[in-house]
Amino acid sequence: DVLTSNAEHWSFARRVPAGVVAVISPFNFPLILSIRSVAPALALGNAVILKPDPRTPVSGGVMIMRAFETAGLPAGVLQLLPGGAETGAALTEAPEVRIISFTGSTAAGRKVGEAAGRHLKRAHLELGGNNALVVLPGADLAKAASAGAFGSFLHQGQVCMTAGRHLVHESIKDDYVAALREKAENLPVGDPMTGQVALGPIIDQAQRDNIDRIVRQAKDAGASIEAGGTYENLFYAPTVLTGLDKDNPAWAEEIFGPVAPVMGFATLEEAAEIVNASEYGLSVSILGEVGEAMKLADQVHSGKVHINEQTVMDESNAPFGGVGASGTGSRFGGYAANIEAFTETQWLTMRPDIAPYPF
């Protein structure tokens, strides 16, 4: 930008590369969630060190390296650093790294943010979510149940944007539960390599056990399992829960699995209060009449709001990110957000000759 100035010089604000950017990516969408930071960071003149999740080093790392090598990227500009949490910690604290782009759990993100703060580094944190899907009175139940099922069960619920809380107006809640139950009971679950399925496996046994732990705790706390709640090997059945209160583990925690807890509400004000009671603030879906939906959209604290669409939405040119425990407010996607994320602002002044000074 060219700046106005009262001094006898030209004045500019320009964006310059930050230097070395560390990209730490997760297992659930390893290619997409790596490349969305790697590509703009490189395009803006930075060098990049990529550390994929140790469970997905090929799709989250090796494939990207091969693609850039084939495209002619100079050697050393993009480096691949495989490893687990200790590797990520070392990368975060390395003095050569100036910006950290982290996508993963809120617990791990807090540690990354703390380490970055100690070293006065910028950290872009895209973290977890316990996202609300709100169904307003008068909404088309069949379409709402379809949106709810897709939002909760897509990719086995292993998405930061998964619909983790279904908040349905009390006048239609029972009918919505019945429609969602039917969806859950009829979705095919199995190995996607052997046939057409809607849900495949959970990433590993530890994650499957954590999903089942939360479902069991939810039942012990008074919830009813309307559908699912069972697993075979790593295949967890689409699960619908009712009879929850705001303190129930399945309502309060991010499950990261194919579980759809359902609760009722009476007014828009109550719906906004329940949505905002979560520490997370990544994505909110509102299904129903647009005018009423906008009233609610204006009251919720969330990085993304989708009216008459489910919660799992991402586009390469749209600013993506959350607030609260879902992130630090920084964004990925679109030229403005990417330039802000991966460059520094520099003030530059210029004169044709050396300026005179009084001494």
Distance between CA 11 and CA 195 in Å, rounded?
Answer: 63
Phi, psi dihedrals of residue 228, rounded to the nearest 5°: 75, -140
160 carries an active-site annotation: yes
Which of 126, 226, 253, 254 is labelled catalytic?
126
Q: Are 151 and 162 in contact (CB under 8 A)?
A: yes
Check 69, 114, 160, 273 and give the catalytic one. Answer: 160
Three-class DSSP category at 254: coil
What string of H, E and C letters represents the secondary structure of the chain?
A: CEECCCCCCEEEEEEEECCEEEEECCCCCHHHHHHHHHHHHHHCCCEEEEECCCCCCHHHHHHHHHHHHHHCCCCCCEEECCCCHHHHHHHHHCCCEEEEEEECCHHHHHHHHHHHHHCCCEEEEECCCCEEEEECCCCCHHHHHHHHHHHHHHHHHCCCCCEEEEEEECCCHHHHHHHHHHHHHHCCECCCCCCCCCECCCCCHHHHHHHHHHHHHHHHCCCEEEECCCEECCEECCEEEECCCCCCHHHHCCCCCCEEEEEEECCHHHHHHHHHCCCEECEEEEECCHHHHHHHHCCCCCCEEEECCCCCCCCCCCCECCEECCECCCCECCHHHHHHHHEEEEEEEECCCCCCCCC
- Are the C-beta atoms of 65 and 35 separated by less than 8 Å? no
Q: Is 279 a catalytic residue?
A: no
Which are the catalytic amino acids? 126, 160
